[in-house]
Amino acid sequence: MRWIGIDPGLRTTGFGVIDVNGQKLSYVASGTIESGDPDQGLPVRLGILYAGIKEVLETYHPEQAAIEEVFLNVNPRSTLMLGQARGAVIAALVSDKLPVAEYSALRVKQSIVGTGRATKPQVQEMVKRLLRLSRAPGTDAADALGVAICAAHHAQIPKAITTALAPKNSSKK
Amino acid sequence: MRWIGIDPGLRTTGFGVIDVNGQKLSYVASGTIESGDPDQGLPVRLGILYAGIKEVLETYHPEQAAIEEVFLNVNPRSTLMLGQARGAVIAALVSDKLPVAEYSALRVKQSIVGTGRATKPQVQEMVKRLLRLSRAPGTDAADALGVAICAAHHAQIPKAITTALAPKNSSKK
């Protein structure tokens, strides 16, 4: 199963593609899409992110996608900008009929490093080890690869176990 | 010139298509796209909005697009949700190579009713009159048609006049 992970951002969106075969994870590709000069205006920048993701999909043909959830910035304008970038990226994924899972940064860090308080260098280092890379990827690409690894791990846990591990009140929602 | 106007929203996105020939405006189509049950998850709902806009574009072939700017909600989560919907809609427009203009709700109301404090029924009534409709469109469709009319008006004003009318300090930015 081939996964694409995405760390969305208006200025820079990170992507990471991995293959998952049982317990074995293999690195396929990773990188960033830059939306360029803010003076181009928001629609043009969103178009660059959208086209960039489409190009990655056409190149690597992932079968599943996972994207990092957005935290609410103290600055509402930043939240809005990040939300729009995330919307354009998700549109690119679903326009290709990809199922899209969502994971919080906290959950990704817990899954990769073992603690939600992990630093960016710790995530980079663990992604490097888990994928047996000769050197650590950049922060945005590492975050995206981390989302893909987290999603692949999570998809392997049988439903019965996730239910058993869930906090008791989770069935009341 | 055929314009599409969009009033973006996660639950309901309004669209309106008009033809502009000199001073003459003609109604082509309008309506809403509903993203459906929130339990489907955000990516599926954004996919419905994206596919809905693509279908409207394939049906009516507009040459220019205009979209309402998003105001910052007091609830940051609402701002984020609205931002993501707007991002997915803009992605659908730019994926069709449409130029996308942005107008604030204030500017649309000023352009259609003459005051930024116009109520929704006033916008509906003026859209009905300007497009010579037999009855007023629904609020979301009327807002979308309003954005298209505002954009079409604005595109017709020669640059020299907009500059002459601009506040003095606008050239300093």
Per-residue pLDDT of chain A (173 residues; tens, 9 = 90+): 999 999 999 999 999 999 999 889 999 999 999 999 999 999 999 999 999 999 999 999 999 999 999 888 778 899 999 999 999 999 999 998 999 999 999 999 999 999 999 999 999 999 999 999 999 999 999 999 999 999 999 887 654 454 455 554 444 33
Closest CA to A151 of A16, A9, A8: A16
Q: To which residue do tokens 């009319």 refer?
A: B149
Distance CA B58, CA A47 (A): 18
Query: Is A104 inside any structural domain?
Result: yes
Residue B22 has pLDDT above 50, yes or no: yes
Compute the nearest-CA separation of B76 from chain A (Å): 6
Tell the burial category of A130 from Cβ atoms under 10 Å away from its Cβ (0-12, 13-18, 19+). Answer: middle
Compute the nearest-CA separation of A41 from chain B (Å): 9
Q: What is the CATH number of the domain that holds A153?
A: 3.30.420.10
Query: Do B94 and A70 lie within an 8 Å CB cutoff?
Result: no
Question: Is B104 in CB contact (< 8 Å) with chain A?
Answer: no
pLDDT of residue B157: 62
Query: Is A113 inside any structural domain?
Result: yes
Query: Is B148 inside any structural domain?
Result: yes
Query: Do B83 and A88 lie within an 8 Å CB cutoff?
Result: no
- Tell me the chain B residues in contact with residue A80 when contact means C-beta distances shorter than 8 Å: 70, 72, 79-80, 82-83
For residue B78, what are the CA distances in angstroms to A145, B51, B162? Answer: 29, 22, 34
- In tens, the pLDDT along B40-99 reads 999 999 999 999 999 999 999 999 999 999 888 778 899 999 999 999 999 999 998 999
- Angle at which helix A120-130 crosses helix A105-112, to 10 degrees, equals 50
Is A63 designated active site? no
- Tell me the chain A residues in contact with residue B99 when contact means C-beta distances shorter than 8 Å: 43
Distance CA B94, CA A10 (A): 16
pLDDT of residue B126: 96
**Range B107-126 average pLDDT:** 94
DSSP structural state of residue A70: P
Is B143 designated active site? no
Query: What's this model's pTM, rounded to 2 decimal places?
Result: 0.88
For the record, the structure tokens of A36 come out as: 């360029």
pLDDT of residue B31: 97
Query: Is A51 inside any structural domain?
Result: yes
Compute the nearest-CA separation of A37 from chain B (Å): 17
Distance CA B13, CA A25 (A): 41
Query: Do A84 and B90 lie within an 8 Å CB cutoff?
Result: yes
- Tell me the chain B residues in contact with residue A99 when contact means C-beta distances shorter than 8 Å: 43
Helix (H, G, I), strand (E, B) or coil at B87: helix
Its domain, for residue B67, covers 2-165
Q: State the total domains in chain A.
A: 1
Distance CA B30, CA B13 (A): 11
Query: Is B70 inside any structural domain?
Result: yes
pLDDT of residue B172: 39
pLDDT of residue A157: 62
Do residues B35 and B11 lie in contact, with contact meaning Cβ atoms separated by under 8 Å?
A: yes
For the record, the structure tokens of B25 come out as: 């405006």
Do residues A150 and A112 lie in contact, with contact meaning Cβ atoms separated by under 8 Å?
A: yes
Distance CA B4, CA B36 (A): 23
B164 falls in which pLDDT band (50, 70, 90)?
A: low
pLDDT of residue B109: 96
Tell the burial category of B33 from Cβ atoms under 10 Å away from its Cβ (0-12, 13-18, 19+). Answer: buried
pLDDT of residue B135: 93
Query: Is B170 inside any structural domain?
Result: no
Query: Do A47 and B95 lie within an 8 Å CB cutoff?
Result: yes
Query: Is B121 inside any structural domain?
Result: yes
Question: Is B102 in CB contact (< 8 Å) with chain A?
Answer: yes
pLDDT of residue A16: 98
**Exposed e or buried b for every residue in A32-60, given b needs 16+ CB within 10 A?**
bbebeeeeeebbbbbbbbbbbbbebbeee
Return the biggest CA–CA distance within chain B.
Answer: 52
Query: Is A171 inside any structural domain?
Result: no
Query: Do A88 and B91 lie within an 8 Å CB cutoff?
Result: yes
Other CB atoms within a 10 A radius of the CB of residue A157 amount to 10
Is B140 designated active site? yes
Amino acid occupying residue B114: G
Residue in A95, A97, A102, A173 to test binding to B, most B beta-carbons within 10 Å? A95
